[in-house]
Amino acid sequence: MSKATTTKTKWIRKSFIGETKLPIVYEPAEERDLEDLTHWIQKNQKEWREDLKTYGAVLFRGFPVHQATDFQSILFATEEKKLGEFYLGTSPRDQVVKHVFTASELPPHYPIMQHAEMSFLDNPPKLLFFYAEKASETGGETPLTDLREIYKDVDPKIKDKIQKHGIRYRRRYDGPSTTARFSLWKTKRWDEMFGTTNLEEVKKISDKNRFKLDWFGTDSLTITNEQSGFRVHPEAKTTAWHNHSQTFHYQAAVSEVWKIFKRQKTFRSLGVALLLTLLTTIKRISGQESHDVHVTYGNGEEISAGEMQSITNVFWKHLVAIPWQTGDVLIIDNLSVSHGRLPFTGPRRILVGWSD
């Protein structure tokens, strides 16, 4: 870790890990208790929020954060007016306490591509909070990417198309008649996503978020909606790449798992890459209608495999993957920085909260 920088508070020092400035790291210069940390966060809003706006993420490391309720007390200390209780995202999660959820219940070999949380919504979360209750033995990093740099670096032809047409998403979901909690391509069921089986409530939530609903089969559902693809930060006025193309495109997962194999060099990562390549090839041959999760430009034009590969390459060029340490708390500016998950081995439990 680089030499600590000065700070207004003597007992907290700031530094960076290696050459990257994502995230900025806060550590205690002397032993303190959790109440000292929450008090500092509450009383030094301007300082940590300014760092968050500049760097995109703040990592609190080495503080006495031992359980979900400790983590939630940090969420309260930020004085965010609306902490998340309702999750409209795609990954299966379990609620732990009122404002704290498990980050994902997907299997450990399953990679999660870079994304800004719920970027397909009109009003995605403003801040994300992660807590490493238990760091994994190997892997399991939550990689970060500065979406402001992605916006600058992506092929201008792709940016021009998104600027002109936006992004269109299509997601198919199984219903409560399906006993499995998630599937390889669909992830979780729609009743878990909406938190209800009441169809009137589902329609109400969908209308609020401009979701177009198409029912098929016994109780399966297709959701279609469109977004701009970029977002301007309300305070910093910076422009960021802000869409789920690199998560929902059929080619993205294949590109991801081969890059993970190159990084991890394990037989498991090779097996996952080979299997997913085969399954994706079959999907591609079957045509876009076979894709349970699909993304195009807003006018319906396909994002080609080559375009998607170039987007993935830009993400991995800027990607930062710092291993978790048990007790870490990470705050992310969701309008500036994306996150994901690398495969892992051994017990791992990462909790998450957010502010709307």
Q: What is the CATH number of the domain that holds 68?
A: 3.60.130.10
Chain centre distance of CA 263: 20
pTM: 0.88
Q: Highest mean pLDDT: which of 86-100, 158-172, 252-266? A: 158-172
How many Å apart are CA 92 and CA 100, to the nearest integer? 14
Q: Judge whether 121 and 210 are in contact, CB under 8 Å.
A: no
The answer to whether residue 36 is domain-embedded is yes
How high is the pLDDT of residue 68? 96
Q: What is the mean pLDDT of residues 36-64?
A: 96
Give the tens place of pLDDT for each residue, 122-150: 999 999 999 999 999 999 999 999 999 99
Q: Judge whether 108 and 119 are in contact, CB under 8 Å.
A: no
How high is the pLDDT of residue 3? 40
The answer to whether residue 233 is domain-embedded is no
The answer to whether residue 37 is domain-embedded is yes
How high is the pLDDT of residue 8? 46
Q: What is the mean pLDDT of residues 35-64?
A: 96
Amino acid symbol at 15 = S
Domain that holds residue 41: 12-109+119-140+321-355
Mean pLDDT of the chain: 90
Number of structural domains the chain divides into: 1
The answer to whether residue 199 is domain-embedded is no
* Beta bridge partner(s), residue 221: 173, 215
Q: Which residues have a Cβ under 8 Å from the Cβ of 239 and sit 6 or more positions away?
A: 148, 151, 230, 231, 232, 233
Give the tens place of pLDDT for each residue, 44-55: 999 999 999 999
The answer to whether residue 238 is domain-embedded is no
How high is the pLDDT of residue 77? 97
The answer to whether residue 133 is domain-embedded is yes
Question: How far is residue 350 from each of residues 44, 67, 144, 291, 341, measured CA to CA in Å?
Answer: 26, 11, 15, 30, 10
Judge whether residue 289 has pLDDT over 70: no
The answer to whether residue 235 is domain-embedded is no
> 239-241 and 230-232 as β-strands: parallel, antiparallel, unpaired?
antiparallel
Judge whether residue 5 has pLDDT over 70: no
The answer to whether residue 195 is domain-embedded is no
